[in-house]
Every structure is written in structure tokens, then in C-alpha cells.
Structure 1
Amino acid sequence: MMGGTGMFMMLLWIVVLGLLIYGVYRLFSRRTDKQEGDAMLVLEEKFARGEISEEELRRRKAVLTED
């Protein structure tokens, strides 16, 4: 059976691996959310300036939010 040190090292590696996976997930999820949010802001600004119609705004938002 494992000693106290072996059990500690196993738990340490599990924690490190979990943090690594979580960090990669957060990195990519933030990037996607930020890009989508920036695009939405640009669309809303164009609509506010009268550069695109309400119909065009809705169509482009639908394209951005579809999965």
C-alpha cells in the first residue's frame, strides 16, 4: 500500500491536472465570448448610426448566435 508521501503526490498531480484543464477551458471560453460580444457591439453601433436596418441587425445577430 502507498505511504503518506505517495498518496500526497498522487493528489497533487490530480489537482495540477485539474487546474490545467480548467485554465485551458477558461482561456478559450473567454476568447469566444469576447469576440461574440465585440461583434454584437459593432452591430448595435451600426444600427444606432442608421447604417443597417432593424431587419439586417436581427439577421446578423442570428448568424452570430447560432451554434
Structure 2
Amino acid sequence: MWGGGFGMFGGLMMLLFWGAIIALIVFAVRGFSSGSGPGSKSDAAEILRERYAKGEIDDEEYERRKAKLGL
């Protein structure tokens, strides 16, 4: 009689679909641009070296954090 379709929830399903697509795009872009990639360990090591050079951390703290980073 009404020609099928999604019925009463068609608009809601369309909003959910496009919301999911947009969310996937946002997460993909944030994932590729975040600091959690392969370079993040070297960035952490660089920060650690800088803090040690400035005297913000002592020898023991430097060695402990360096070991924790796996360097």
C-alpha cells in the first residue's frame, strides 16, 4: 500500500548510517595524524634527553625512564 521502503524508521536509519560514516572518517583522520605512530617512541626519547640535558631529571630518573621506553 505504501510502496515498501524503510517504514517509520527510515529517516532515523539514514541519520545513523551517515553518522557512522562521518565517525569512521573522523577516527581514521585522527588515527593517522596522532602521535601514536612509529615516531612516537623517538619523540619520547628526544623529550627525555632534553629534560635530562636541562637538569629537570637526575641520572637515576633518566635511566629508569629510558629503560621503560626500551631504549
TM-score, scaled relative to structure 2: 0.45
Instruction: Give the TM-score, by structure 1 length.
Output: 0.47
Higher radius of gyration, 1 or 2: 2
